[in-house]
Amino acid sequence: MDTLLKNKYKTAVSYLLRLVSSKRLGIHFDDEPKPEKVEEVESLVKDKIGLNLSSLKKEDYVKYELALSDVLSDILSNPLQDNIEDEIFLIDKSVNIKTPIPKCNIIIDNSLKKRFKLLGLTLSGINSYFLEPDFVSMIKLRNVEYLIETKKIKDNKLGYSILLSLVQIERFLGKIEAYKVADSYLLHFDKFESLYSSPIRLFLNLLNTYGAYMEFNGIKKKFFINIEEKNIPDSAIFKILTPKKGRTLKLQGNPIMNGTKQVGLWIPFAYLFDWDLYIQDYKSHKI
């Protein structure tokens, strides 16, 4: 399949993702010309999951969004790996929000600053990328709030890239006090244009490709979300199934207290990311 035809399919899938996401969230979808290949993609989705776009029920929207990404992957002969088990839960918990977001302080730790430099991203003016994203989804789990953002940025050497970021909202007395960048990755725009407008799907796609399996309480997955376990010591929670250099564990845990005694741990999210493989693929323009 030539590049022009691939781009037509990418554009069609991107259009349908925006349309279905708008229907799911009950927000207005800006009228725009329907691109080529839309009807063909709709037909492929129907063959795959038996659903018509024109007659979707509320509970079908998430299934349709997932199927769109899978269909595009099939078309481009680059099948996705097994779906992350919690992705439907994550999509259901997400809400697309309008930009710009309220201005506030940005917190970036030193490890992320080093990552940006390694990826060739200058730190000068970088805060504006997180404060002025192009697309934003918000996830709220109990009292923890995250923004998943995408921002199209100019790369002096290779055209355009997408900055994909997981940003935690920090509040004090209900007021936003700061945004803490929990994780962030660069992806070449031409490789992920179809998912650029859907931060949740892009985030899950990345984890599905570069996440590694972990075991928690006998369950093996790449991505854990909204877990509550009692009477388990912090040091014994996650077991890395395939130890390997170059992998980074992203984990946030909040203690479950009984008075002054910790009796367990609530984990909003946890995943193990193959950083070495990601940076290799990014620098070779595979992603």
Does the residue 237 lie in any domain? yes
**Of 79, 104, 129, which closes a domain?**
79
Cis status, amide bond into 100, omega within 30 of 0: yes
Whether the per-residue pLDDT at 79 is higher than 50: the answer is no
Both tokens of 124, joined, read 């000068």
**Of 187, 209, 231, which closes a domain?**
209
Does the residue 279 lie in any domain? no
Q: What is the mean pLDDT of residues 87-104?
A: 79
Task: Provide the domain limits for residue 70.
Answer: 3-79
Does the residue 85 lie in any domain? no
Both tokens of 181, joined, read 């960048």
Q: What is the mean pLDDT of residues 7-25?
A: 84
Residues 7, 35 contacting (CB under 8 angstroms)? no
On whether both 120 and 157 belong to a single domain, the answer is yes
On whether both 139 and 115 belong to a single domain, the answer is yes
On whether both 101 and 201 belong to a single domain, the answer is yes
Is this model's pTM higher than 0.85 or not? Answer: no
Q: Which of 51-55, 263-267, 272-276 has the lowest mean pLDDT?
A: 263-267
Higher pLDDT pick, 94 / 30:
94
On whether both 203 and 232 belong to a single domain, the answer is no
On whether both 112 and 196 belong to a single domain, the answer is yes
On whether both 204 and 223 belong to a single domain, the answer is no
Span 203-261, pLDDT tens digits: 888 887 888 888 877 777 888 888 877 766 555 567 766 666 667 777 767 777 788 88
Q: Is the dihedral of CA 70, 76, 79, 85 positive or negative?
A: negative
Higher pLDDT pick, 83 / 173:
173
Both tokens of 237, joined, read 């929670």
Does the residue 18 lie in any domain? yes
Total number of domains in the chain: 3
**Of 209, 241, 263, which closes a domain?**
209
pLDDT band with cut points at 50, 70 and 90 for residue 83: very low
pLDDT band with cut points at 50, 70 and 90 for residue 147: very high
Contacts of 86 (CB under 8 A, 6+ apart): 221, 223, 224, 225, 226
Contacts of 27 (CB under 8 A, 6+ apart): 96
On whether both 188 and 128 belong to a single domain, the answer is yes
pLDDT band with cut points at 50, 70 and 90 for residue 143: confident
Higher pLDDT pick, 181 / 241:
181
| Owner of token pair 């934003």 | 136
Does the residue 285 lie in any domain? no
Q: What is the percent of the chain with per-residue pLDDT over 90, rounded to a whole number?
A: 14
| Distance, C-alpha 141 to centroid of its chain | 16
Does the residue 278 lie in any domain? no
pLDDT band with cut points at 50, 70 and 90 for residue 150: very high
On whether both 120 and 71 belong to a single domain, the answer is no
- The whole-angstrom separation of Cα 100 and Cα 134 is 8
On whether both 168 and 221 belong to a single domain, the answer is no
Considering only CA atoms, which of 158, 212, 211, 167 is closest in space to residue 187? Answer: 158
Q: What is the mean pLDDT of residues 135-161?
A: 86
For residue 80, the model assigns a pLDDT of 41
Residues 45, 56 contacting (CB under 8 angstroms)? no
On whether both 192 and 126 belong to a single domain, the answer is yes
Higher pLDDT pick, 217 / 167:
167
Does the residue 39 lie in any domain? yes
pLDDT band with cut points at 50, 70 and 90 for residue 88: low
On whether both 226 and 202 belong to a single domain, the answer is no
What amino acid is encoded at 246 in this protein? G
Does the residue 84 lie in any domain? no
On whether both 121 and 143 belong to a single domain, the answer is yes
Q: What is the mean pLDDT of residues 109-137?
A: 88
Span 31-58, pLDDT tens digits: 678 888 888 888 888 878 888 898 898 8
For residue 107, the model assigns a pLDDT of 93
